[in-house]
Amino acid sequence: MTVVHLDVPAAAIAVQQRGGLSKLGRSIFGDRPTALGDERFDSQWRVSAKDPATVRGFIGPMLAEEHIAGRVPSWSIEGNELITYQNGRLTDPAVIPALVAPLVRVASLLGR
């Protein structure tokens, strides 16, 4: 787990890469109210939030483009923590900057 501390707490939101079942569900039932309306993003990523109106306040065009390009990971916000998870164990502390950089990029693009 990688965590970036945000200056202020935010509404809970999660952006997850779609798996096969999510893609199938989307094709059958359509998009959730939290979809961005950008087919390139919505086909690859699923956004979960209690209030769909807040989604666009977090995920603007610049952040959506980073997701589409595959440069940022799945993430979530709980309170003032921006969180992502990686599989495996950290065995070499020298890789920490490379693990944190994509999440810092997400933090810098929230709302943009």
pLDDT in tens, 36-86: 999 999 999 999 999 998 898 999 999 999 999 999 999 999 999 999 998
With 0.85 as the threshold, say if the pTM is over it. yes
Largest CA distance in the chain: 45
Pair 12, 50: CB distance under 8 Å: yes
**pLDDT digit string, tens, across residues 1-47:** 899 999 989 999 999 999 999 999 998 998 899 999 999 999 999 99
90 lies in which domain range? 2-109
Q: What total number of domains does the chain contain?
A: 1
